[in-house]
Every structure is written in C-alpha cells, then in structure tokens.
Chain A
Amino acid sequence: MEDDIEVDPRPASARRTLMRNGAARQVAVNFMPSRQLTCNTLRIRRNNSEHNALLDDVMDAAAAGSGAGDKVDAADRQADIIVREMEQHQRLMEDSPDAEELRREALRELPEGLTMKRHVRAKLSASVSLRSKRRPLSCTKRLKYRLSFAWKRTKDRLRDMIFSIELWYEAIRNIEGHFGSAVGSYFYLVRWMFALNVALATMLVAFVVVPQALHDRHMNTTLSDHRGFLDFIGGTGWLEDSLLFYGHYHHDDTSPGRLRYHMPFAYFFTLLCVYLVMFAVLCYRTAYSYRRNFIETAGGLSHVFASKVFCGWDFGIVSHHAAALTANSIYNEFKELLSEQYKKKSSRGWCARAGRLARDALVWAALLALLGAVLYGLWLLLGLTTTIHHYHLLVSAAITAVLTVCPLVFHLAAKLESYSSRTVLYVTLGRTWLLDAATLVLLLVYWARSNEQCWETRFGQEAYRLVLMDAVISLVVLPIVEFVRALVYKLNPNTSPPEFNIAYNSLTLIYNQTVVWFGMVFAPLVVVAVVVKLLVLFYVKRECAMRACQPARKVWRAAQTQTVLYMLITLSLFVALFSLGTTFLGSESRCGAFSSYSSVVGVLTVGALRLHEREAARRVLAFLLRPGFIAFLLLFLSVSVYYVRARARAQASVVRILRRMLLLQAKDKDFLLDAIAKVSNGEWLYSPKAAHEEGPDSHTWKYLREVRKPSNSGFHLEGPRANHSLLEGRPRSYAKDSRPTSRYKEGTARDDGDTDSSFSWQGSAHGVNQ
C-alpha cells in the first residue's frame, strides 16, 4: 500500500502539450474505420466532445494570436464541426419524417447547451434542404407521412395531458425527497395498483353490476330491512342476496321488452376479458421490467464497486437529514464491502460450509412444516361445526391474523439463515407469497368441495371479509403500531426508530391483489372496495412515513426488487386463473348467473358458440382438447424454450469471447496510438519496450521527455538502451507503481522488427494541429 497515487503534478504547460498529443491521437482514432459507421448516434455524441478537445486547442491558438477570442465565431465553428459530423450519416440527412425524427433525437442527445443545439439545428435543416432532391411525393407516401405526423402529435399531446392529470405527483416527489427513491417506488406501486383496480372496477361495474341493478329496480326486489353491523362485516344476512355476491346475479335476459341483455354472457365475457387483459398487461410489465433490470444488466462481470461509486447517490434526495443518512449508509457500505473482500481471502473450511447448509435446510424444513401446519389447522377450523354465532367472522379474523404474523416469523427465520441480505429479502418475499396463495387456494378448494347450495357466494363472502379485515389491519392497526413506536423512540432515543418497511408493506399490497384475483369472480364489488381502500391507504401511509418513520439506514436497491414484486403479482394471477379454471369452470353452478347451464363453461360452448348445433366446430374443439394434442403442445413449448435457452447460452459465450477480444484490441490500440503520437511528434525514435510499459502520463514517460528535449539530441540515437537504463536506475516502486492496477507482465515486449522507423503519421496529425 505504500505506492502513492499520482495526482497530476504536471504544470499547465506540460498538460497543454499532452492535450495536443491527445488531439493528434484523437485524429487517428477518428480516422479508424470503426468510427465511420452509419447512423450510430452514440458515436456522434462522443466524437463531438472529442472534437471539443480539438477545438479548445484551436481556440487556444486563436486566443494567443489575436488576444481576444471571438466567442460567437467560436460557437459558430463548433456548430459547423458538429453538423459536418452529422452529415456523414446518410439516414440522418434524408428529407423524410423518419429522418427528421432521427435528427430530433440526435439533437436531444447532443451533450451541449440549448443555444448550441439551436445553432446546429438551423445549420442542419439548411443542409438538409440543400441536399434534398425535390420530388413529388406519391400518394401513399404522403398519407404515410401525414399519419406518422398525426401519431406523433397525438403522442405528445397525450404525454402533456398525462402530466397534468398525474395523480399524487407532488406527494410522491416529496416522499422521495425525504426517503429516497426506494420508498418512493413503494408509493408508485400503490398508485399503479390503484389505477389497475380502477380500470377493473369500471369494467365490472359498467357491464355487470349496473345492468343487474337496473334489472333489480325493474323487478322491485327489495332487501330485507334488518341491517345488522355483524352482517355487514360478514357479508351475510341482508347482504347475502345483494349485488355484492355472485349468487344474486340473474341467469337470463335482464331487461324485458326490446332491449335484451343476456346476463350470463355479460358476466362471463366481462370477467374473461378482464382477466385476459390484466394477464397481458402484467406479463408485459413484468417482462419489460425483467428485461431492463435483469437481462440487460447481466452477463459476465458484475461491477460491485464501480456501481456503488457511480450509482450510489440518490439524486432525488432533498432533505439534509436524508442526505446525511445516505452519506452514512454509503460510508458503511464501502466499509462492509472492503471487509468482505478481506474475509473472502481467508477461505472457510468445508466443515463450516456443511454446518451452514445443514442450518439452512433445518430452517427451510421448519418453515415448510409451519406452512403445512397452518394450512391444515385452517382446514380443520373451516370444517368445525359449532353453535357460535357468526363463526365465519372468527375464521376470517384468524386467517388475517395468521397472514399478518407469519411474514414477521419468516423475517426472523431468515435472520437465522446465512444468505446475503438481498437473497434474504427474496426468500422472505417468496415464502410469504407462498403462504398467501396457498391459503386462498385452500379456501377455494374447501368451498368448492362443500355441499353448500351456493358455494360461490360463500367464497365471495370469504373474500369480502378478508378484504375488509385486511383494510382494518393496514389502515388502522399497523399505523397505530408505527406511531407508538415513533412515540417510544421520541421518549427514549436509545431504541431503534421505526423505519419504513418496504418489503412488508409491498407484500400486503400483493396479498390484497391476490384476494382480488380470486374473489373478483364471486364478488364483483370487492374490486370497488379495494379501490377505496387503496385510495385511503395512500394517504395513511404517507402520513405514517412523513410523521412516524425515519429514512432507512441501509441502501435499498429498488430496481430489481420492483421486478420481483411485479413477478409475484403476475404469479398470483396465474395461480388464481389456474385454480379457478380447475374448480369453477367445469363445475355445475346451482345459483347465480350460470345456473341455467349444465356447467359454467357451457356458457361458452352451448350458449355462445352453439356447439350442439354445429357438429364440425364441436369436433374441432374436442380434438383441440384431447390429451394427446395438449401433450404435443406442451412438448412443442418445451422444445422451443430449450432452443431459446441454448441460443442464449451460445450468445453468452460469444459475449465472453468478444469481451476478451475487446480487451486485447483496446490494449493493441492504446499501444499503437502511443507509438503514433510519439513518432508524429518527432521527439524521439520509436522504442517498443518503453511504449509498451508506460502510458503517456506515467512518470517514466515524462521523465524521458524531459531528458530527450531536442537540445539533448545526443540521447536520441540510443533510445532503447537509455530508456532501459533509466528504468533500472530508479527505485523499483517508482518506476512500476505509477499505475496501481498494472497487469502488464515484463518480458512481453515485441522485438524491434515489428515496426520500422519509416512509419510516419506526421502529415495528417500536423494538418489538424494547425
């Protein structure tokens, strides 16, 4: 560790010469074929800033000559350079809307101020109109252009509108400012689920609930007058035969007379559409998020330290308190990373590893046993015959209590295991989700197997109760707990302050949504209840966060966790669809909208498609549903998945090879460019050994340059040897350690035959230097 870091002790004049060297080098780079690709906007940008370095040089020279640099002129010239650069890209310069859009994009991406962008744009459009050959447009093309313009215009207007109606914008921004973007992402999740449920509720209310309500009014059905509170909570009594539950919905045309509204069709197809649309939306969202946060960032090296350093600070933070905490947590993380690195060096024995594995296995076994026990207990509890009044309320309360407490148990259990903190989070999330989904599947199976007259309504009631109780828990109980903890912390600052637990809060959201996926079929109005709940939840949680909670001490990496949360929501929808398909779809419904058909799926086969009248269609459908065909389909899917996976692997290995090549090529290029720069400056004869061992800003290089001024040309002739002796003569650490991570090996220098001294780049370098 004794090697000191070089902090650029060069005087300004030396730096300037070096810059000029850099400029010559840059010219060489810009002449390389790889830099002349067509329409690679990224390259445009980099080239521009590299040109700026050149331009600075030019401007320096101009300033030295005329005394005062003409600023406007300089800006003009700079714009010229940028435009010239852009003109090389054919596709960018076409006179068509696509190219115009490309130009707009390229302009936005320019790393320059707005004034410069405007300059460039004016010049660019002049140049485009100069080049364009005015030809009359064909009709189809004109239509295409007009359409694309209209589309763009609408998109812009839509974005404008969305910005002005964006819900809770300032509120979430405020929270992000105080707690960082991780807590903000929880509130975005709340908002997103709120929007999702609003969409769900609108569709269900519009197509299912309202027609039924009109029908009820027409038939003058009135609810019983006895309205008890317990009945309200339990969804029993007067609520049982109401719009809330499946059993109430009419099984035939609802409006007599001219307007026909076939309720079974409406019920079936609305729900089908809702489920399919939601499935598509969720799959897309999850896949998008997965691609962005897992696939695109994966592959090969992981930059643990580099991404901590460059992505560590959350730029959205506004409060001093949060900033201090963030700085603190980054400091701790650096320390942890360093100590981990030292720890890794001391390898652990297999004994310890086996012990760890055994402990993990034990915890897993215990938790699975707990899960099984909870589910079995629930099953027994449901089957119990008692005389207690409103027994079902107690059961629901028990379920809610279990689902609230178990995540905490999982959380504690995860502390016993030896996972990394990120894995702990995922494992806890996964376990809790498993518990939630299993409980709901169990409830569904229990009621489907019971001999109730209308088990669908029973399950609907169950879902309704769970939503209500969960609302009580998350809107009343948890906030009270948090406020009490905050109070305790205020009175006694030695205790730990309550932090905003993103994982736990997100999980309750997912549980909530899982209940909706399951219960929506049997109790359409549950969705409306959830919408109201989410609306209130947002404000309650905001108050909780702002008044009671402290920003977290640990940095929470939001992006990947967000993906996992989306995945869990999608997965619960999938489980819900699967279990509904197996229990409900094929069953005979004795009440509600589908009671006029022999089975629920009969709505589709008998009602809508009229398969009993169409023999051919029935045969096709029967063929499609045969086990053989489905097995073939599955086989085909597996083969294609295997194929895609194999391709992905092959590509990953190619990426590895390419990366290695990139490394080698970068080294080669560096080496050659150094040589070129030195030769073109004409200061000394080329010596491969020195160039290879030392970069342009190393001590040796500078030292050599000092010695080899043209005045001391005596050294010139015996370059290699002098250079060598200089290296030998100096302390080893000084000569070698100027580069902290030097991985160069000695003795890899090529022999002198590689390059001959007639090699020259001087012409072009000089051309640009002036």
Chain B
Amino acid sequence: MGQGKSQFSEDELQDYEDLTYFTKKEVLYAHQKFKALAPEKVGHNKNAKLPMAKILQYPELRVNPFRDRICKVFSSSNDGDCTFEDFLDMMSVFSEMAPKAVKAEHAFRIFDFDGDDMIGVSDLREVIERLCGPDHKLTDSEIQQLVQNVLEEADLDDDGALSFAEFEHIIDKSSDFCHSFRIRL
C-alpha cells in the first residue's frame, strides 16, 4: 500500500474515515482497487471520474444484474460515472459495517427504476426479470403472479406499490439481506 499512501494526506484519510464505514487502511485498499480499474487516469488524479463502463469492470459489478442501477444511484452526477469518492461511498454502503437501514435505503433506490420514490408494479417486474437472467424467461402470467404475491405480502397500505417504509419492513424481517447485499472490499 506504499504508493497509495503518497496520494492521500492524513487529514484526507481522517475525513474519509469520518464519513464512511471504513478505516484508513480500508480506504487505501479501496483506492488500490479503484486504481486497478484505470491505472493511468487515477495515477494522475486520485479522484478521477471514471465512466460507467470502466466502473462496471469491477468484478462484483460485472456480473450483477443491477449493475447500471448501482452506478447511477451512487454516481454524484447521476449518470453512472463515478469518482473515487462515489466508489468509496458505494463500497462503504456494501461493506459489512454498514447498518441494515443504510443498506435498505440504497437498495430501495436501486430497485426503484423509474425514480418515483415507490417500488411499483413495473419496478417489481423489472427486478424479477433481471434476477432470472437473460437465459431464462418467466412467462408474463408467472411474473404477474409473482408481483401480485409480493404486493400481497408487503403492501401494507394497499396502494399497489411499495413505499420505503414497507420495503424496510421486509428487509427488517429478512435474515438473509445483510448476507446477500454485501460486497467485500
């Protein structure tokens, strides 16, 4: 981590430690990983903005069905391009130390494709289709049935969409969420 250290001052690291769930060493480690995506660019400017295609080369993101959503949610310019700080923010939320509520908040945004602050029927369909991958297609009526089941279980106020409170309720009751919604640095 020798060369990583030279790019950050002690104050900057302290700053990152205060604002994220990482320790200083972990921040440096994250920067190494970020640098590996585009060595020259990041070598010049440690907080360089990488285009979404570059970010998506990160191993865990490469195969993730929600990769473009993840990038968009964490990108500060909202177009999927991420600076190192955005990347650090992303990793911090996905890290083990982040509490369930924070993870739930971001998961909600990732699943909220149309950005109306509700996970509606179209969002649910999209999630299910992406989960099953490109090789397998559920029939329309099957997806319909699944969506209906999800809403029956979770839509407490019966408005045909999941608000954040309802979504958080599901997450609270799921023991597997913290295990699955996690990317190790």
A108 within 8 A of B: yes
Instruction: Provide the residues of chain B in CB contact with A215, threshold 8 Å.
Output: none
> How long is the Cα–Cα vector from A310 to B174 in the complex, in angstroms?
10
Q: Which residues of A contact B180 (CB under 8 A)?
A: 181, 311-316
22 examples of A-B residue contacts, CB within 8 angstroms = A1-B145, A5-B122, A8-B120, A108-B20, A118-B19, A163-B29, A173-B184, A181-B180, A303-B173, A306-B154, A306-B170, A309-B146, A311-B177, A311-B181, A315-B64, A320-B63, A323-B133, A327-B133, A330-B132, A338-B146, A559-B178, A667-B158
> Given contacts A177-B59, A309-B128, is CB(A45)–CB(B141) below 8 Å?
no
| Bound: A307/B174 CA distance, A | 6
Chain A proximity of B142: nearest CB distance (Å): 6
Stretch of B3-11, B37-45, B100-108 at the chain-chain interface: B100-108
| Cβ–Cβ contact B170 & A310, under 8 A | yes
Known: A118-B15, A306-B150, A310-B107. A334 touches B102 (CB 8 A): no
Residues of A whose CB lies within 8 Å of any CB of B are 1, 5-8, 15, 19, 22, 42, 45-46, 49-50, 53, 104, 107-109, 111, 113-118, 121, 156, 159-160, 163-164, 173, 176-177, 181, 185, 292-294, 296-299, 301-307, 309-320, 322-324, 327-328, 330-331, 334-335, 337-338, 341, 557-560, 662-663, 666-667, 669-670, 695, 738-744
Check if B174 sits within 8 Å of A297, measured CB to CB.
yes
The 8 lowest CB-CB distance pairs between A and B, nearest first, are A327-B133, A666-B157, A323-B63, A318-B59, A113-B76, A307-B174, A331-B136, A293-B175
Nearest opposing residue in chain B for A15, CB measure: B116
Question: A160, B23: Cβ atoms under 8 Å?
Answer: yes
Q: How many residues of B contact A (CB 8 A)?
A: 88
Q: Tell me if B26 counts as interface (CB < 8 A to partner A).
A: yes
Whole-angstrom distance from the CB of A534 to the nearest CB of chain B?
22
CA distance A320 to B20 in the complex (A): 30
With a cutoff of 8 Å between Cβ atoms, the chain A residues found around residue B117 in the complex are 22, 49-50, 53
Closest beta carbon of chain A to B183's beta carbon, Å: 5
Which residues of chain A are near B109, meaning CB under 8 Å? 111
Choose one: A159, A160, A315, A320; the contact of B181 (CB below 8 Å): A315
Is there contact, CB below 8 Å, between A327 and B131?
yes
Whether B79 is near chain A, meaning CB under 8 Å from some CB there, is no
> What separation, in Å, do the CA atoms of A741 and B152 have in the docked complex?
7
Check B175 against A109 for contact (C-beta < 8 Å): no
B167 CB–A CB distance under 8 Å: yes
- Give the complex CA separation of A313 and B105 in angstroms: 17
Contact partners of A669 in chain B: CB under 8 A: 157
- Nearest CB of A to B75, in Å: 8
Asked whether, in the complex, the Cβ of B172 is within 8 Å of the Cβ of A559, the reply is: no
Does A740 lie within 8 Å of B148, measured CB to CB?
yes
Report the nearest A residue to B149, measured CB to CB.
A305
Q: Looking at the complex, which one of A316, A322, A331, A557 makes contact with B182 (CB distance below 8 Å)?
A: A316
Given contacts A8-B114, A108-B21, A306-B170, contact A113 B89 (CB under 8 A): yes
Please indicate the chain A residues that have their CB under 8 angstroms from the CB of B152 in the complex.
Answer: 741
Contacting pair B60 A315 (CB below 8 A): yes
Give the shortest distance, in Å, between B140 (CB) and chain A (any CB): 9
Q: B172–A296 contact, CB under 8 A?
A: yes
- Cβ–Cβ < 8 Å partners of B179 in chain A: 181, 185, 314, 558-559
Pair B173/A560 contact, Cβ less than 8 Å: no
Residues of A within 8 A of B56 (CB): none
Which residue of B is nearest A560, CB measured?
B175
Whether A670 lies near B174 (C-beta < 8 A) is no
| Distance of A741 Cα from B171 Cα, bound (Å) | 21
B176 touches A557 (CB 8 A): yes
Q: Which of B88, B131, B154, B155 is within 8 Å of A114, CB to CB?
A: B88
A663 touches B157 (CB 8 A): yes
Q: Choose among B60, B131, B176 the residue with the greatest number of A CB atoms under 10 Å from its CB.
A: B176
Do residues A318 and B20 form an inter-chain contact, with CB atoms below 8 A? no
